[in-house]
Amino acid sequence: MTSFKKGGLITFLTQVLVFIFGFATSIILARVLGPEGKGIYTLIILIPAVLGMLGTLGIEIANVYFSANRKYKLSDIVSNSLISSTGLGLIIILLFWMVSTTNAFQEFLTANNIAPLYLWLAVLTVPISLLGGFLNRILLGREEIIKFNSAGLFQSVLQFGLIIVLLVALAQGVFGAVLAYVITTLCVALLVTLFVKKLSKIRLAVNFELLKESLRYGGKGNIGNVAQFLNYRLDIFLVAYFLDVAAVGYYALAVGIAERLWMIPGSTGTVLFPRVSAIDKTQANQLTPKVSRHTLFIVFILSIVLLVLAGPLIQLLFGTAFLPSVAPLMILLPGIVALSFAKVLTSDLAGRGRPEFGTLAAFVSLAVNIPLNLLLIPKWGIAGAAFASTVAYSLAALMVIIAFARLSKTSWGEILLIKRGDLKVYTDLFSRIIKMRFREIK
């Protein structure tokens, strides 16, 4: 088995486990907190997530790239990550404190029943979260796939366990959910630090040439990542502004379920980025289209299944109270499918040192998403937010495939359409499963 296939398989299997624990966690959160409580928790966790995304300055992306191509010493990358995460995290906390004193922000907290103490607990984890993210991307760049995935799995399992203890056993409500988030963030950062320490010494020194190159390379991709992240999450803030915190809970659940389909492009894209960084363009032109069409095929099939089962699934697992989540979930699915293959192509482009294509697509998409949300949420509620996202995601996917097709001189059919030869992979797998099952019966 090639290292790419092995890494992709390990990442996918890990993502399946992450999905199981994450989905179980979301069920408990919804059942215990209800729509309003889930909405409050979503907003509390979303704020430090936005701050952290703004504060990375692309260093996460650069760490993958420079760890893979080995242009700089690993010890320099690690040291820069430690100092950068601390400095950027403290700046973010200071800026947040300044914003938190404004009347507009205080009114937002009051309108959505957000306790300032709970929010501050989450925000104070930003430097630790940045450190964990920076170091984990070093593991990915060095293709330490097992360690990289172990961190993600550990995070899901630990948070699941803490949610059971703090919400179910101790009945701590929103505070318990936030505390679980804080403890999980700290423990994951510690685990990743221990992993990286085995690869390189950790010291306090700055390689300014590396820092400059990291900001230059990572900045091109990070601007796009920020824009894409806002594409994913800005609508939640707008739902909170135009509607109420219960609507945030309904919409957050729909988004959370729909985005579970991205575990497939997430797995392949994660492994593809460092792989493309390490191989030549000819090899990448053969590898990426195949990965893209397989990804799209699988996500499309799963989306059809989810489309049929959305109503019964939500009622059974999350309760009747969350049935308003069904409509936005169904509306989101076409955009989720479209962006699935685009995520794969964006990882390839970043691996070629051309992250600006993903950046441009994300900004154009965001420029369409914001006015559509402002127009449609007051008219259609959370269904309007879902429709705006689907339009924005589809536009981003269109731009990315045009860029990749031109750069790699590959046809759209090669990128999107599953071939008869590709299907043999699935028929062979199905045949092996049947044979194994038949042996068990005998």
Sign of the dihedral through C-alpha 384, 387, 391, 396: positive
Calpha distance 117→126 (Å, rounded): 15
Measured CA to CA in angstroms, residue 239 lies from 20, 146, 157, 234, 432 at distances of 28, 38, 30, 9, 48
Residue 265's closest CA among 316, 340, 315? 340
Task: List the domain range (segments joined by +) for residue 302.
Answer: 3-441
pLDDT tens by residue, the chain, 442 residues: 455 556 556 776 787 888 899 999 999 999 999 999 999 999 999 999 999 988 888 888 888 878 877 778 888 888 989 999 999 999 999 999 999 999 999 999 999 999 999 999 999 999 999 999 999 989 888 878 888 889 999 999 999 999 999 999 999 999 999 999 999 999 999 999 999 998 888 788 888 888 888 888 777 667 777 888 888 889 999 999 999 999 999 999 999 999 989 888 877 766 676 667 666 677 878 888 888 888 899 899 999 999 999 999 999 999 999 999 999 999 999 999 999 989 889 888 877 778 778 888 889 999 999 999 999 999 999 999 999 999 999 999 999 999 999 988 999 998 888 887 777 666 665 666 555 555 545 5
Residue 159, Cα to own-chain centre: how many angstroms?
17
Return the pLDDT at 432: 60
Residue 136's closest CA among 146, 122, 123, 121? 146
Measured CA to CA in angstroms, residue 189 lies from 183, 225, 291 at distances of 10, 21, 31
Q: Which pTM does this prediction carry? A: 0.84
Coil/strand/helix, residue 12: helix
Task: Say which residues have a Cβ less than 8 Å from residue 65's Cβ, sequence separation at least 6.
Answer: 141, 217, 218, 277, 350, 351, 353
Calpha distance 54→126 (Å, rounded): 11
Residue 42's closest CA among 54, 30, 57? 30
- Specify the number of domains making up the chain: 1
Using the structure block, give the residue that is written with the tokens 């420079």: 66
Q: Is 38 exposed, middle or buried (0-12, 13-18, 19+ CB in 10 A)?
A: buried
Return the pLDDT at 7: 57
Sign of the dihedral through C-alpha 253, 180, 177, 115: negative
Residue 328's closest CA among 299, 301, 306? 306
